[in-house]
Structure 1
Amino acid sequence: MPQSYLTVASPVDVEIEVRRSRFLARLERVEDEAAARAVVEAARRAHWDARHHCSAFVLGPDAMTERSSDDGEPAGTAGAPMLEVLRGRGLSDVVCVVTRWFGGTLLGTGGLIRAYGDSVRAACDAAQVLERRLAQRFSLEVDHADAGRVEAALRSRGVHVDGTDYAARATLRLDAEPQERDELAALVAELTGGAGVLVDGPTHYRTHPR
């Protein structure tokens, strides 16, 4: 499982013009293939008057799922160069759909490849890129009287505290990188006089701005 990967914060739309043909690129973060295809279909509905809605998407922390479509353009002139740009930027969990309105002048194979690639590059340049890092969730039970002090001390040491649940005792929800577990356990022992014990939870990816 990769330690981190890159994605985008929010959808962006960028338009370029090449020899009177308009290329509108929409780049959006998605969770799965169904969501990626839904973005493509939404562009198709919104811009029904356009001739082509070419697309590419990359999914998963390890970029295991990749798809692209030329949507009627000559084979290899749209989807493949779009996908190549996403790969080159190291982005995953993203879909890009480029809608083209034909301007009356044929661009040729090389012109199409450049235009579709440039459209995706422009969208990537406009997007805010985020890093998602592998983290592990831990829980820590403490007495109610100690919860505020322990939480403040953990935060001051740079530990991410996702929140605290209050029941018979207070349970702090902590996130740390898996390789930091021993260091976190030692810190917890120091702050609780050895009474606090970390309970391991599942791994997940947390988002960090770049």
Structure 2
Amino acid sequence: MTTPVRKHCLVFGGTFDPIHHGHLRSAIELRELLQADELRLMPSHQPPLRGRPGGTARQRLEMVQLAAANEPGFVVDDRELNRDGASYTVDSLRELRTELGDGVGLTMVMGSDAYAKLHRWHRWQSLLDYANVWVIERADHPLQADGEVAAAMDARRLASVEQLRASAAGGFFSSRLIQLPISATDIRARVAAGRSIRYLLPDAVAERIAHWGLYQNMQTGTQS
């Protein structure tokens, strides 16, 4: 017998180097679409498939906390920053499932760019044991994946957001959002070039970047 879902938790992870209005607008839309009780912003410590972030773990955490401070339903989850070395999403989902119990829906969100690399993730096959996977199709990156990943996810595909809301774990769903064309890469490049980043991210985050002198003397990468 299927356990009825009594509440739902969304997990939105990322490097957040820095967090910006593109992240935040997508997070609000995701929570509203799913009617989720909470959305957890989960900064990653050292993403295994990306270069070292420009901001330290504590700086990026503080920026996320500042950005989420006044948004109802947003929770900042720092568990991955408390691990040494690389942080793996599957471990975070396993921990969350244990904490939340079986009657809570748990859905992890990723972009279609990350989905294309899912076959390189640590224990990607186990993600659906603990949570649903919701892929947001980016306009600049079509929905495509390694053959094994595509077959596994298509076998679990849900037809609607209503089905996703009612699923505690094990479902796959994809959709589009109205996404703001803002990237962390561009923000870091603007800071390095001495250009304004106002209106691209919350004022409190911009002020903290200026206070720390963050990104002023760094080579920009490809993180979003």
TM-based fold match above 0.5: no
Q: Greater Rg, structure 1 or structure 2?
A: 1
More strand by share: 1
Normalising to structure 2: TM-score of the pair? 0.30
More helix by share: 2
